[in-house]
Structure 1
Amino acid sequence: MTDDSTAAADDKAWEELVKNMLRAEMMRRGISYTTLVERLAEIGIDDNELNLRNKVSRGRFSAVFFMQCMLAVGVDLLQIPKTLEEAIGKGGAQRLAKTRAKPDS
């Protein structure tokens, strides 16, 4: 059993993982936050760039939001890192963007 501080640290790592996975997919495709706003609008999701930047920066967003972004970015196959360590810490998104197979589009 973990104490509350360990559980909070674990949650932070998972939040950083999903944040970096999203950012890596954006990097691989050259998609900016401005473009993400536009692409989300195309599928009926209205938001603004500042809100998106803040959500992604915090890494605290729903699975629904994550999947909406993946669809908007054009991800059709999600590659999940084998370990948290691959995707978290300084440069985690960049590491993921470089280590994953290039998208077809």
Structure 2
Amino acid sequence: MEEVPHKLVGLPAQPYGQWEEEAKRLIEQQMARRGISYKQLSRMLEDLDIYEPSDQINRKINRRRFSAAFLIACLRAMGVESIRLPQFKQEQNLDG
């Protein structure tokens, strides 16, 4: 098999961990602000021709592994027109 030419060596295993948490928090905050359940979000996504059961959406969000497209679709389905991205400290790499 051919080696992937763009594979980066020496980077942390989870370089996007804090960003995944931020994306999860963003969806959850918007759901809470609007009083939207996972079941309701599932129905709202259907209006965008996205068919995912509420339990699958819940798992996807809670494991913090979803695409930017899913994030945007959820925000759009909830009627979010703008978002504020607060600054937060990046975790420091203690390995040196």
- Shorter-chain TM-score range: 0.7 to 0.9
Q: Equivalents in 1 of 2:89, 2:49: separation in Å?
A: 32
Q: Which residue of 2 aligns with 1:92?
A: none
Matching residue within 33, 43, 50 for 1:45:
50
Q: Which runs of 4+ in 1 moved over 3 A?
A: none
Relative to the length of structure 2, the TM-score reads: 0.77
Q: Equivalents in 1 of 2:41, 2:81: separation in Å?
A: 16
Aligned pairs (5 A) from 1:19-38: 19-38=24-43
Aligned pairs (5 A) from 1:42-81: 42-81=47-86
Deviation at 1:81, TM superposition (A): 1.5
Relative to the length of structure 1, the TM-score reads: 0.71
- Over aligned residue pairs, what C-alpha RMSD do you find? 1.7
From the superposition, tell whether residues 84 and 24 of structure 1 become closer, same or farther in structure 2 (CA, over 3 Å): farther
Is 1:13 the equivalent of 2:30? Answer: no
Q: Equivalent pairs: percent with the same residue?
A: 33
Give the aligned residue type for 1:11.
Y
Structure exhibiting the larger radius of gyration computed from Cα positions: 2
Structure 1: give runs of 5+ residues left out of the alignment.
86-105
Larger helix fraction of residues: 1
Deviation at 1:84, TM superposition (A): 5.2
